[in-house]
Amino acid sequence: MATAVSDPAPHLAVPASMAQVGKLTRYQLREYLRSRRYVALSAIVLVIGAILTFVVAHFRGSIVSTSLAFYGSFWGAGADIVIVLAAVFFGGDAIAGEFQNKTGYFLMGLPLRRSTVYIGKFIAAFLASVSMMVLFLAILVLNGAYYFGTGLLPWQLGISLVLAIVYLVAVLGATFLFSSLFKTSAYGFVLTAILFLFGFSLLQDLVADLVKIEPWMIISYAESAIGQVFSASPNWGITGTAVTTTVGMGRFMVTTTTYTAGIAEAVVIMIGYFLVTAAAGLWLFEREEFS
Amino acid sequence: MVGPSLEARGLTKRFGRFTALDGLNLKLEGTKCVGFLGPNGAGKTTTLKLLTDMIFPTAGGTWINGTSVQEHRKRALADTGVLIETPEIYPSLTPNEALGMVADLRGVPASERKHRVETVLAEVKMSDWANQKYGRMSKGMKQRINIAAALVHDPQILILDEPSTGLDPRGVAEVRAIVRALKNSQRLIFMSSHILSEVVDVCDEVALIDRGHLLFYDTLPNVISRFGGAHASVDVQFSRPLPPDAVSRTIPGIPGVKNCQQLDARRLRIQFQGGLDAQEKLAEALVGQHLGLVSFSESESALEEVYLSQISRGD
């Protein structure tokens, strides 16, 4: 069997790492946009939007009393879950999948730094997740237009959107870290979903109620800022507020303290989470062997 | 000008208590095809992964064209095509897109990219599948795309890890034909295999590894003459049935020939003494006999004998 092949070309100049990040992001994003998981998550976001639309239409009342109350309720109720689901869908197996699906053996034979692969995949997961947020936002704005006309959106929505994007970056940072810990995709998916859907909230309550300190070290504590900007008097500060309530229960008096993060504090927590988890995830990936 | 090179110096790799490689020293230089032989678990794939920075050495290091793989992976792998462990490409990409991505990441100029992708897809006979999804392809087709991906930037060096493993007979033959063709194109090819016929068929040199130790590295005839007892062996084929006296007198009378075994009417296995020089003289003598010589190749059984004797020595 005769097979003709060409002689090797002169040495090629491999693109700079930053350029390779851009290229890798483009191809990874294309892979996400064509995947079944993208279609599935789009459907889930549409379902979440439909449920909220129904709830608002059915109960109305105080929810649509003002545009601020409406946007605060709708966005506050749905944005965080959309963010967590997007992070799970696009980041849960971003690194673990390279080992499990053997795509890493394809990428690692190329003249790329491992950090290039990590950053490229992170940006692609971020962009795919943002597209889900945009879909949810579109449902929100359509509802808002129905109840309040097509006038100006409240400026608080813009701030909340920025906070949601910062939260997404933090959640993705943690998701990529979990994904780097394992060589099996399912573990990354499950750990991210459990922690962000209820694990961190549970920890936050335990820290606040049992240890009686401000749970600034828990990411879900910072997430509350996304909804807080719609409140009548948001705390823009770098320190949280604590409200202590004492309730009588028969012969016992139960005292609970509720902490609320300042918005600036929440941003610092989210950025801190991202920096620590991204650095740890990258450190792990740099040392992970394709054995 | 110094040709392409691959080098392992004091290469040691331990997985927990298991030592997969123990101080391996190996230097390949020039344009040729080197077979990397060894039983399962000998350390072949471990060596190739260390050469491509997929795993990290416990001690020692690897160099490609003089560049440390561990210190400068990007530069070291720039002119190298790699196929290790039957990798998977993102399933939604088509071969055109996947190879375009590789070419893009490797720095193939945009103006040449389309042509290069088309060329390598033609080389691996996958042009008709250029726009089908990779995820829907058979294992053999995927492997051909993987070979194309390793070739898309025209590398000087190719590192192939058992490229025909898991393929059906047709796939094996096709992959072997591709590697044989690559061998004639001024490249250094380092190919692991445990299929001896594949190594005999396509390789110029052979390195044998067992339990993390390099047992030998030399040209195929030299290996057979050094380790295969006193005699090397070649299989020859003729275009017409051989006259009886050719088998009984003429060929055994060629200087250096020690034994001549008729395999069938047109095929012989000839044992002879010496290395490459003796082999060359034998080939010339056979051509000079005007017996219709059409094929002359290392005997697979000779390499098999060497392989088994060297491997069993370590048991």
Mean predicted confidence (pLDDT) in A19-27: 95
Burial class (CB in 10 A: 0-12, 13-18, 19+), B198: buried
DSSP letter at A250? T
Q: How far apart are CA A193 and CA A54, in angstroms?
A: 26
Locate the chain B residue with the closest alpha carbon to A120: B105
What distance in Å separates residue A282's CA from the closest CA in chain B?
A: 16
Q: How far apart are CA A145 and CA A157, in angstroms?
A: 14
Is this prediction's ipTM beyond 0.85?
Answer: no
How many angstroms separate the Cα of A139 from the Cα of each of A73, A75, A128, A142, B178? 14, 10, 17, 5, 55
| Nearest-CB residue to A109 (from B82, B156, B184) | B82
Interface of B with A in 156-195 (CB under 8 A): 156, 173-174, 177-178, 180-182, 184-187
Quote the pLDDT of residue A2. Answer: 47
- The 10s digit of each residue's pLDDT in A250-271 is 777 877 788 888 999 999 999 9
- The 10s digit of each residue's pLDDT in A174-201 is 999 999 998 888 888 888 889 988 898 8
Q: How many Cβ atoms sit within 10 Å of the Cβ of residue A155?
A: 10
B274 pLDDT above the threshold of 80: no
A97 contacts in chain B (CB < 8 Å): none
- Write out the CATH class of domain B228-313: alpha beta
What distance in Å separates residue B311's CA from the closest CA in chain A?
A: 24
What distance in Å separates residue A108's CA from the closest CA in chain B?
A: 7
| C-beta of residue A235 within 8 angstroms of C-beta of residue A282 | no
User: In chain B, where are the structural domains located?
Assistant: 5-219, 228-313
Q: Best mutation site among B62, B154, B159, B187 for testing chain A: the one with the most A CBs within 10 Å?
A: B154
- The 10s digit of each residue's pLDDT in B82-104 is 999 888 998 889 999 999 999 99
- The 10s digit of each residue's pLDDT in B191-212 is 998 778 788 888 889 999 998 9
User: In chain A, where are the structural domains located?
Assistant: 17-287
What distance in Å separates residue A176's CA from the closest CA in chain B?
A: 19
Superfamily of domain B5-219: P-loop containing nucleotide triphosphate hydrolases (3.40.50.300)
A20 contacts in chain B (CB < 8 Å): 105
| C-beta of residue A178 within 8 angstroms of C-beta of residue A194 | no
A144 pLDDT above the threshold of 70: yes
What distance in Å separates residue B223's CA from the closest CA in chain A?
A: 28
Quote the pLDDT of residue B138. Answer: 86
B123 contacts in chain A (CB < 8 Å): 3-6
Q: Best mutation site among A1, A5, A100 for testing chain B: the one with the most B CBs within 10 Å?
A: A5
Q: Is B41 in CB contact (< 8 Å) with chain A?
A: no
